[in-house]
Amino acid sequence: DSGVTQTPKHLITATGQRVTLRCSPRSGDLSVYWYQQSLDQGLQFLIHYYNGEERAKGNILERFSAQQFPDLHSELNLSSLELGDSALYFCASSPRTSGGGGELFFGEGSRLTVL
Amino acid sequence: EDQVTQSPEALRLQEGESSSLNCSYTVSGLRGLFWYRQDPGKGPEFLFTLYSAGEEKEKERLKATLTKKESFLHITAPKPEDSATYLCAARPGGSYIPTFGRGTSLIVHP
């Protein structure tokens, strides 16, 4: 158990819909990362937050957005869903206090299926 | 562009048959090379961090080593429970974002 909690574990929805994925980092970790993992793409970095502030963006689509709240939990919002958005979405937290970037501790992931 | 390439993509071993996984990286000013283990349907589990060429880390049957261009994960006398995908990631200088390789899928047969 990494200490990172993600909900929901599984989600099935239809094209055009919107979903929200939630992540609670390990106690004391200020950094939260979101990654997407699909069979043909591997682990792709989406976005990084540190202590409530966005620090870096990867290949995150405009239809996707995220935020980190004062209690440090984070949410990833996916809208206008397409079949190609079906993937595992991972949240990870980092123990580094200077903005993250060290080893990452991953949650169990949220498996999104878009039909 | 920062790149991390892992080989082989898949590896099948007999129990007790030692081998090595390779991770080649091209990043500017490496600030950390990380190894993770991922079981099917689970999140990656952190194994090791290496920072400088010549550094080695060990954990049970696993040993990670680092040179200026690549890292190896040596698996000594593997057991079936070592079966998993092993991911390598490299963090470039000036960035907090590690770049991941595609992983090596390891299957150890009893």
pLDDT of residue A97: 53
- Please give the mean pLDDT across all residues of chain A: 92
Phi and psi angles of residue B80, each rounded to the nearest 5 degrees, phi first: -55, -30
Least CB–CB distance from B100: residue in A42, A55, A88: A42
Q: What is the pLDDT of residue A32?
A: 94
The pair of three-digit structure tokens given for residue A114, joined into one six-digit string: 């878009």
Secondary structure element (H or E) that encloses residue A23, with its range: strand A19-24
pLDDT (0 to 100) of residue A1: 85
pLDDT of A40: 73
Nearest neighbour of A105 by CB, restricted to B46, B95, B101: B46
The pLDDT of residue B52 is above 70: yes
Q: What is the pLDDT of residue B96?
A: 82
Contact B99 A45 (CB under 8 A): yes
Mutate to test the interface with B, among A34, A59, A96, A104 (most CBs of B within 10 A): A104
Is residue B85 within 8 Å of B105, Cβ to Cβ? Answer: yes
By CB atoms closer than 10 A (0-12, 13-18, 19+), residue A40 is exposed
pLDDT tens profile A90-107: 999 987 655 455 789 999
Selected for mutation to probe chain A from B96, B99, B102, B105 (highest A CB count within 10 Å) is B96
Token pair, residue B103, equals 């992983």
Q: In angstroms, what CA-CA distances link A1 with A97, B42, B44?
A: 22, 11, 11
Q: Which residue has the tokens 């999104």?
A: A112
